[in-house]
A = this chain, B = another copy of it.
Amino acid sequence: MIDDALSFFKALANDNRLKIVGLLAQQEYTGEELATILSIQPATVSHHLARLAEIGLVSARADGYYSVYALSVERLRTLLDEHLSSDAFIQLTNDLDLQAYENQVLREYIRPDNQLQKIPNQINRRKIILAHIVRDLKPGVRYSEGQVDRILGKIYDDPKALRVELLDQKFLTRDEDGYWRGKLQRSSGAGYGIWD
């Protein structure tokens, strides 16, 4: 997936290869002609053509002892569609663990026995911890203050402080009838798509 995109951009990330594509976009050329126009050695042209051929952008046809090179317009269209479509950029992250940072922060503050060591100072990390902890409350259920503190007390020795933080950061809501869990929110900035 990302390897294909990478091959595509790498293939075009060179001035002589870009020039070759530009030339072949207008007409066919032999290797000798390309070498002369670009002022480089035939061997170098061969190398660049091979790289362009790797992604199917260029094809060769034999003509006597000449090779005549042509741009594959079909393939160019396909490649542009594949790697520059609205989803293409997002799919570049397919193999990544998007939760890696959150998990790292959780491991840092919550011990293996599930005890919170300390409420993080930085708002960033605090939110990650709170978003995790609030999952101990069931959504849609209303809790008394005592119930909340009992639940929080199982993972931290100052449940009141934890409760206040959860309220401050809107992970927990209260009214005269008690507390309930708010909707989960992202830890980072709001997401948005490339093409709206």
Residue A184 at the chain B interface, CB threshold 8 Å: no
Distance between Cα atoms of A23 and B71 in the complex (Å)? 33
| Copies of this chain, tallied across the complex | 2
Measured in the bound complex, the distance between the Cα atoms of B189 and A70 in whole Å is 9
Q: Contact: A32 with B92, CB < 8 Å?
A: no
CB within 8 Å for A18 and B76 given contacts A25-B194, A188-B30, A189-B28? no
**A interface residues, how many (CB within 8 angstroms):** 55
Contact A101 B5 (CB under 8 A): no
Q: Mark A3-41, 1 if CB is under 8 A from B, else 0.
A: 001100110111100110111011111101100111100
User: Would A188 and B27 be within 8 Å (CB), given that A101-B37, A194-B76 are in contact?
Assistant: yes
Are B92 and A19 closer than 8 Å at their CB atoms? yes
Q: How far is the CB of A1 from chain B (nearest CB, A)?
A: 10
